[in-house]
């Protein structure tokens, strides 16, 4: 799936075309510009694979005439646009790594690659159904905030790079004199991020459980991990990266986010955002939301609330464990460190990452999975995966919803943010009082990077598994573990699928497990507000995330969950069973997951081993 403008570039540069991607203009070179350093660069193939995943995602699933991924839903599209912006950040960063001696001409060619996909991001800005998302749950709104803040960071970094190249190449007198055209979009993106942050901030509630974000204003109060983690991450990112907004439309009055309401201006680095992030973090940390494996359970109901009790405590925990609930917090913790200089935030992040890695069945000390992988068998479930690979509980059965198809990619995105080599570049001294001095922050950075480096072999293992799920068209599947197992046709005969299904998680307290992300919100009084006396759910159109809002399973809905299909996979030939054809099959969401794991591998492996 070669994109047309890449062909043009390839022709112009006359690179040998052994594979379509050898013609990429993004030649990886050592800092000194020689090819000799190629082998010293980390996982060079991961970079090419990442670019291919991005290109396949956009050429296969994005419709330019609509400016969107038509098969996505509002929140998954917001995540997809985040993946694209993040990939562009990484490509731009790579240009810099390979650039210095190569001059303006080369930079211009490479700029076309980045700019080509940036136009997709701009198109999506208009295709995004901002009106619909305003009426959805608070988490839906916060994905929007994170997406546009990611794009703003990309624009900032890419503009900076181009002005440095122009400075070096043209002998201009001051760097930054040239501004990339993309920066014209910053005010629009900033405005949308700010508007949606304000809408979402209305979900903060102190009447119940002493604080915390409510998930969905149209349901019974449910304080879940994702909404709170998103609020932490989005708020601290607003503090760090929001460039300010002077656009009062369409919500001109009643602003809650500004320290200068009378001027109707929203300044950058408003301490209000940092405070919101710290409050939300303090609440989450004290909420008892983690299970005995140190993983976040899904969230808390308030028992008796539906029958008029005056209980206000978060005391009824839903024990369901999803990958993304262990991920979004990571970028929030990084941001909190950047804003305050407190290393405890980083330590908390590493503890969570290590709990996740352990729960995939991977031993970081021995650097290998704890279980053998006998031929044609599925290894035992370890809490959040098996055989050292991150897995969703719905994966093995092929029963994942559109929501769940997006989760592993989200984990990888936020993990990459946490462990990116540039992660601690931003000076804490810029924002915090009492932040550490140069030497101390150097030591913090060394400790942080040493920990992140330890995760690289595990990450590579996961990327390899995900790569193994690609079909003949190069598209990624949902169940990454299957890419490692190479199941044969025999495995589809029920036996493997049966013992592969994970047991329900137990939180140690005998709590309930409701997998509402895959099977929809139960229409009972624990979840849904009942109309007066009627015992029927009140209308909650547009608010309750339920199956009908998601796109039907499977391509054309031909296959249902758990119904296996036999087929030849990309390179496996006859007899290889492709469990990723089951259920919803390969989608833009599973492609986004593939893109995210490859990007994480490339980004984090730059720390070296
Ligand atoms: C460039 O880097 C490579 C690999 O690190 C090294 O072998 C080579 O000698 C370097 N060339 C120069 C001119 O420094
Ligand atoms: C509400 O709280 C009060 C005081 O704590 C208590 O006496 C009362 O029984 C509670 N009512 C219900 C319905 O639980
Ligand atoms: C934390 O939650 C678990 C699971 O619901 C429960 O068993 C335990 O008692 C709670 N601990 C505290 C201190 O509330």
118-155 pLDDT, tens digit per residue, is 999 999 999 999 999 999 999 999 999 999 999 999 99
Among 405, 378, 379, residue whose Cα is nearest residue 392: 405
Q: Is 174 in the pocket of ligand 2 (CB under 6 A)?
A: no
Which value, in Å, is the radius of gyration of the alpha carbons in the chain? 24
339-394 pLDDT tens trace: 999 999 999 999 999 999 999 999 999 999 999 887 778 899 999 999 999 999 99
Q: Which ligand is nearest to the CA of 30?
A: 1
* Mean pLDDT value across residues 174-194: 83
Low-confidence winner among 18-27, 465-474, 566-575 (lowest mean pLDDT): 18-27
The pLDDT value recorded for residue 317 is 96
Q: Are the beta carbons of 190 and 242 closer than 8 angstroms?
A: yes
Q: Is 262 in the pocket of ligand 2 (CB under 6 A)?
A: no
The pLDDT value recorded for residue 608 is 81
Q: Is 223 left (phi over 0), alpha (psi -120 to 50) or beta?
A: beta
Instruction: Give nearest CA residue, ligand 3 atom 10.
Output: 288
286-316 pLDDT tens trace: 999 999 999 999 999 999 988 889 999 999 9
* Mean pLDDT value across residues 431-438: 54
Among 580, 545, 594, 595, residue whose Cα is nearest residue 73: 545
For the chain, which residues make up each domain, given as ranges?
A: 5-608
The pLDDT value recorded for residue 166 is 66
Q: Is 101 in the pocket of ligand 1 (CB under 6 A)?
A: no
Q: Is 335 in the pocket of ligand 3 (CB under 6 A)?
A: no
pTM for the full predicted model:
0.86
Residue ranges in 99-224 assigned as alpha helix (H): 103-127, 130-134, 138-170, 186-201
Separation of alpha carbons 398 and 272, rounded Å:
43
Separation of alpha carbons 354 and 357, rounded Å:
5
Q: Are the beta carbons of 590 and 403 closer than 8 angstroms?
A: no
Q: Is 535 left (phi over 0), alpha (psi -120 to 50) or beta?
A: left
DSSP secondary-structure letter at 42?
A: T
- pLDDT confidence band for 523 (50 / 70 / 90): confident
The secondary structure of 375-410, three-state, reads CCCCCCCCCCEECCEECCCCCCCCCCCCCHHHHHHH
Ligand 2 atom nearest 308 alpha carbon = 13
- pLDDT confidence band for 542 (50 / 70 / 90): very low
- pLDDT confidence band for 161 (50 / 70 / 90): confident
Q: Which ligand is nearest to the CA of 304?
A: 2
Alpha-carbon torsion 470, 471, 472, 473, what sign? negative
Among 416, 392, 413, 199, residue whose Cα is nearest residue 298: 392
Q: What are phi and psi of 577, to 5 degrees?
A: -90, 130
Cα of 31 from ligand 1 centre, angstroms: 9
Report whether the peptide linkage leading into residue 250 is cis, meaning its omega lies within 30 degrees of zero: yes
The pLDDT value recorded for residue 560 is 35
For the chain, what is the total number of helices (H) and then of strands (E)?
18, 7
Calculate what percentage of the chain has a pLDDT beyond 70. Answer: 74
Q: Residue with structure tokens 């305050």?
A: 340
Separation of alpha carbons 49 and 38, rounded Å:
16
The pLDDT value recorded for residue 530 is 74
Low-confidence winner among 138-152, 324-338, 421-435, 564-578 (lowest mean pLDDT): 564-578
Q: Indicate whether 247 pLDDT > 60.
A: yes
319-340 pLDDT tens trace: 999 999 999 999 999 999 999 9
Higher-confidence position of 47 and 43: 47
**CATH number of this structure's domain 5-608, picked from the four choices 3.40.980.10, 1.10.3720.10, 2.170.120.40, 1.50.10.20:** 1.50.10.20
Q: What are phi and psi of 524, to 5 degrees?
A: -130, 180
Q: Are the beta carbons of 77 and 68 closer than 8 angstroms?
A: yes
436-466 pLDDT tens trace: 556 678 899 999 999 999 999 999 999 999 9
Q: Is 303 in the pocket of ligand 3 (CB under 6 A)?
A: no
Q: Which ligand is nearest to the CA of 298?
A: 3
Cα of 314 from ligand 2 centre, angstroms: 16
Higher-confidence position of 121 and 507: 121
Instruction: Give nearest CA residue, ligand 2 atom 6.
Output: 310
């Amino acid at each position: 799936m070669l994109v047309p403008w890449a062909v043009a570039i390839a022709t112009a540069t006359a690179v040998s075309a052994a594979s379509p991607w050898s013609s990429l203009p993004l030649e990886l070179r050592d800092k000194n510009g020689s090819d000799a350093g190629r082998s010293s660069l980390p996982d060079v193939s991961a970079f090419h694979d990442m670019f291919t995943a991005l290109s396949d995602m956009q050429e296969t699933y994005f419709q330019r005439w609509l400016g969107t991924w038509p098969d996505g839903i509002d929140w998954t599209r917001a995540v997809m646009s985040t993946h694209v912006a993040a990939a562009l950040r990484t490509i731009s960063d790579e240009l810099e790594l390979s650039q210095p001696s190569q001059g303006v001409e080369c930079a211009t060619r490479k700029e076309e690659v980045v700019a080509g996909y940036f136009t997709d991001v701009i198109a999506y800005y208009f295709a995004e159904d901002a009106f619909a998302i305003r009426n959805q749950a608070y988490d839906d709104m916060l994905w929007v905030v994170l997406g546009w803040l990611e794009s703003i960071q990309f624009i900032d970094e890419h503009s900076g790079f181009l002005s440095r190249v122009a400075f070096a190449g043209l002998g201009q007198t001051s760097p930054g004199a040239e501004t990339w055209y993309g920066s014209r979009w910053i005010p629009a993106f900033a405005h949308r991020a700010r508007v949606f942050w304000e809408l979402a901030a209305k979900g903060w509630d102190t009447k119940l459980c002493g604080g915390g974000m409510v998930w969905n204003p149209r349901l019974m109060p449910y304080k879940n991990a994702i909404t709170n983690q998103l609020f932490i991450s989005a708020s601290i990112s607003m503090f760090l990266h929001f460039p300010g907004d002077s656009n009062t439309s369409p919500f001109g009055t009643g602003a809650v986010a500004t320290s200068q309401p009378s001027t109707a201006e929203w300044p950058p680095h408003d301490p209000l955002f940092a405070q919101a992030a710290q409050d939300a973090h303090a609440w989450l940390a004290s909420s008892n939301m983690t299970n005995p494996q140190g993983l976040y359970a899904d969230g808390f109901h308030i028992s008796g609330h539906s029958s008029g009790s005056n209980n206000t405590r978060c005391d009824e925990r839903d024990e369901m464990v999803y990958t993304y609930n262990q991920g979004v917090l990571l970028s929030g913790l990084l941001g909190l460190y950047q804003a305050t200089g407190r290393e405890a935030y980083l330590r908390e992040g590493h503890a969570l990452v290590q709990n996740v890695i352990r729960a995939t069945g991977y031993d970081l000390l021995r650097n290998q999975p704890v279980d053998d992988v006998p031929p044609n068998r599925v290894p035992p479930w370890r809490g959040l995966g098996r055989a050292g690979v991150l897995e969703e509980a719905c994966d093995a059965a092929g029963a994942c919803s559109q929501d769940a198809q997006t989760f592993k990619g989200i984990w990888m995105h936020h993990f990459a943010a946490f462990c990116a080599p540039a992660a601690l570049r931003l000076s804490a001294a810029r924002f915090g009082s009492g932040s550490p001095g140069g030497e101390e922050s150097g030591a913090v950075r060394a400790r942080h990077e040493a920990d992140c480096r330890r995760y690289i072999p595990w990450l590579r293992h996961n990327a390899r598994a995900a790569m193994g799920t690609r079909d003949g068209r190069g598209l990624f599947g949902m169940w990454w573990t299957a890419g490692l197992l190479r199941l044969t046709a025999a495995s589809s005969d029920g036996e493997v699928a049966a013992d592969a299904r994970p047991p329900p998680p137990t939180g140690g307290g005998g709590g309930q497990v409701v997998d509402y992300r895959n099977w929809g919100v139960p229409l009972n009084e624990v979840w849904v507000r009942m109309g007066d006396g009627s015992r029927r759910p009140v209308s909650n159109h547009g608010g309750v995330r339920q199956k009908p809002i998601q796109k039907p399973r499977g391509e054309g809905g031909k296959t249902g969950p758990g119904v296996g299909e036999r087929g030849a996979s990309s390179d496996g030939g006859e007899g290889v069973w492709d469990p990723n054809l089951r259920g919803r099959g390969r989608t833009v969401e599973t492609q986004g997951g593939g893109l995210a794991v490859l990007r994480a591998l490339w980004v984090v492996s730059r720390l070296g081993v």
